[in-house]
Amino acid sequence: MSDEDVPDLGPRPQRVTVDAALVRRLVRRQFPELADLPVEPVARGGWDNFTFHLGPERLVRLPSAAEYALAVDKEHRWLPVLAAQLPLPVPVALAKGEPVADYPHPWSIYRWIGGEPARRDRIADPVRFALDLAGFLAALQGIDTTGGPRPGVHNWFRGGTLRTFDGLLGGALDELGGRVDAGLVREIWARALDSRWDGVDRWFHGDIARGNLLLADGRLTAVIDFGTCGVGDPACDLAIAWTLLTADGRRAFRERLAVDDATWARGRGWALWKTLADCPATIDDPEDAEDLAEAQHVLGEIFTEYRRDSSRRMSPSSRARKRTT
Predicted pLDDT at 3: 53
Amino acid in the structure at residue 177: G
Entry pTM: 0.93
Burial per residue of 12-51, b for 16 or more beta-carbon CB atoms within 10 angstroms, e otherwise: ebeebebeeebbbebbeebbeebeebebeeeeebbebbbb
* pLDDT at position 315: 59
In contact, 66 and 105? CB cutoff 8 Å: yes
Q: Give the per-residue pLDDT at 307.
A: 96
Rounded to 10 degrees, the C-alpha dihedral 50/221/229/146 comes to -140
Ranges of H-type helices in 84-125 = none
What pLDDT is recorded for position 316? Answer: 57
Beta bridge partners of residue 60, listed in sequence order:
52, 109
Question: What is the spatial distance between Cα 63 and Cα 61, in angstroms, rounded to a whole number?
Answer: 7
The pLDDT, as a whole number, for residue 304 is 97
Cα 115-131-278 angle, rounded to 5 deg: 65
Could you please report the per-residue DSSP string of 143-198? Answer: S--TTPPPSSGGGTTTTS-GGGGHHHHHHHHHHHTTSS-HHHHHHHHHHHHHS---
Which of 150, 179, 156 has the alpha carbon at shortest distance from 168?
156
Instruction: Give the pLDDT of residue 174.
Output: 93
Distance CA 282, CA 293 (A): 10
- CA angle (201 as vertex; 200, 207 as ends), nearest 5: 130
Strand pairing category for 58-63 and 93-97: unpaired
Residue 260: count other Cβ atoms within 10 Å of its Cβ.
11
Helix or strand or coil: residue 52? strand
Residues lower than pLDDT 70 in the chain:
1-4, 314-325
**pLDDT value of residue 285:** 78
CA distance 70 to 7: 17
Angle between helices 247-257 and 289-313 (to 10 degrees): 60
CATH 3.90.1200.10 segments of the chain = 117-324
Domain 20-113 has CATH 3.40.50.620: no
Whether residue 88 contacts residue 171, with contact meaning beta carbons closer than 8 Å, is answered with no
Number of other CB atoms surrounding residue 98 within 10 Å: 11
Q: Where in the chain is the domain with CATH 3.30.200.20?
A: 20-113
Beta strands in the chain (DSSP E): 39-41, 49-54, 58-63, 93-97, 107-111, 116-117, 202-204, 213-216, 219-223, 230-232
Which CATH architecture does the domain made up of 117-324 adopt?
A: Alpha-Beta Complex (3.90)
The per-residue b/e assignment along 111-147, b for 16 or more CB within 10 angstroms, e otherwise, is eebebeebeeeebeebbebbbbbbbbbeebbebebee
- pLDDT, residue 325, reads 45
